[in-house]
Amino acid sequence: MSGPKLRVTPDVARLLQEFLQEPTQPRYGYDLMASTGFPSGKIYPMFAKLVAAEWLVKERENIDPAAEGRPVRHFYRINPDMIAVVRQELAALSQYIAPRPATALRPGFGHA
């Protein structure tokens, strides 16, 4: 199973880390906005890309909006078939952005 190729940016990685904390737990947008600090204009486009790439599954809450007095929520959860891929991508990204050891410089002579 694989959808379109997805570029894992640091923001996408941050969102995916939230899902990996409890991979089986469905989450909704407002909850994830609060935990990541991302505004709706940033998080919902990320949801759309992750759903299109089949990394997330989008589910509609099964309620009667009139009875509940609120609109239906959409929940997102990590696709169980993609957990290993997500972990691999996050590990690769963390190695790419990990701080590199400082190279000692000698005054007037360049690198030590």
Number of C-beta neighbours around residue 101 at 10 A? 5
Q: What is the pLDDT of residue 94?
A: 77
pLDDT digits (tens, 9 = 90+) for 63-79: 999 999 999 999 999 99
Q: Does residue 107 register a pLDDT over 90? A: no
Residue spans per domain, the chain: 10-97
What is the predicted pLDDT for the residue at 25? Answer: 93
Task: Give residue-wise pLDDT tens across range 13-46.
Answer: 999 999 999 999 999 999 999 999 999 999 999 9
Q: 108 falls in which pLDDT band (50, 70, 90)?
A: low
Best CA proximity match to 18, nearest among 7, 30, 4, 6: 30
Q: Identify the residue with better confidence: 48 or 105.
A: 48
Q: What is the pLDDT of residue 109?
A: 56
Strand locations in 17-80, DSSP E? 27-28, 56-60, 74-78
Architecture of the CATH domain 10-97: Orthogonal Bundle (1.10)
Question: Quick one: pLDDT at residue 7?
Answer: 84
